[in-house]
Amino acid sequence: MKLLVVEDEALLRHHLHTRLTEAGHVVDAVGDAEEALFRADEFNHDLAVVDLGLPGMDGMELIRQLRSKGYTFPVLILTARGNWQHKVEGLAAGADDYVVKPFQFEELEARLNALLRRSSGFVQSTIEAGVLSLDLNRKQARVNGEVLQLTAYEYRILEYLMRNHQQVIAKERLMEQLYPNDEERDANVVEVLVGRLRRKLEGGNGFRPIETVRGQGYIFNEHCR
């Protein structure tokens, strides 16, 4: 998933960037609200982690502006003050959950995953589509109960397509899921990855949920629940 992290403290931002990338996300980490608004306009994010105590425009105002611009991705607040008036104000401004500093990374990750699941309409941590089941916590795919050996990139593409099932997804969107913004991109990589993923899913049972929409992108055409 592509995450926007807004934290002014460089060390903490770096830590979040590293740990979230390790956890399989593509992280866009910025130090202030203006940059965050710019990134939100430029790229498609699935979730934002926003520190409330930002220099200049504060986190609360950033969340308000993101919402007023029509961005619906979930927002998780990081706050130093654990008081309820702050939390309530943040949630009322448009955030979906909060984590009080300092936090354990596992807690943050669990909250992020819960928000991501919820935003794609899945309550459980497993997404099922016919014979295929995707365990979002273990980041594992199974077909008929058999674990599929997927690379991290293949898994990201599959998870993204399944979260956005029955919608056409442009190649560029998938690219954003794979690489941070400033890295060199090659559109062919997505085609290669999708081709490998299809072969692994098909295996010996003829299961072909991913279809190509010519000139537009891909669609996961199996109903997910």
Partner 1 sequence: MTPPRNKNFSLRARLMLGATVMVFVFLLGLYPALQQIFTRALEQAVEQRLAADASALVSAARVVDGRLHMPDKLPDEEFPVLPARQLGFIYDSQGQLVWRSRSAANHKVDYQPRYDGRGHVFTRAWDQQGQAFFVYDVEIDLLRGSSAAYSIITMQPVRDYRPMYKSLKRQLYVWLAGSLVFLVGFLWLGLVWGTRSLRYLGRELDEVENGQRKALSDEHPNELLRLTRSLNRLLNSERRQSQKYMHSLDDLAHSLKTPLAVLQGVGEVLAQQPGNTEQARTLQTQVGRMSQQIGYQLQRASLRKSGLLRHRVRLEPVVQTLLDALNKVYHDKYIKVEQLYPADLRMPVEQGALYEMLGNLLENAYRLCLGHIRISAGKTADHYELVIEDDGPGVPACQRERILQRGARLDTQNPGQGIGTAVVKDIIESYDGQLQIEDSTLGGASFRILLPLN
Which residues are near partner 1 by CB under 8 A?
Answer: 9, 11-12, 15-16, 19, 51, 53, 78, 80-85, 87-88, 91-92, 96-98, 100-105, 114, 118, 123
Q: How many residues does the chain have?
A: 225
d(CA 41, CA 212): 27
Judged by beta carbon, residue 57 or residue 131, the one nearer partner 1 is 57
The strand pair at 217-220 and 210-213 is best described as antiparallel
CB of 117 to partner 1, least distance (A): 8
Cis-peptide, bond into residue 102, ω within 30° of zero = yes
For residues 44 and 173, what is the distance between their CA atoms, to the nearest angstrom? Answer: 7
Residue 12 or 170: the one with the smaller Cβ distance to partner 1 is 12
Least Cβ distance, residue 107 to partner 1 (angstroms): 10
Q: How far is the CB of 123 from partner 1 (least distance, A)?
A: 6
Select 72 or 149, whichever has its Cβ closest to partner 1. Answer: 72
Complete DSSP assignment for 10-56: HHHHHHHHHHHHHTT-EEEEESSHHHHHHHHHHS--SEEEEES--SS
Smallest gap from residue 72 Cβ to partner 1 (A): 14
Q: Quote the least distance from Cβ 172 to partner 1, whole Å.
A: 31
Which long-range contacts link 145-149 to residues 24+ away (Cβ below 8 Å)? 148/200, 148/201, 148/203, 149/200
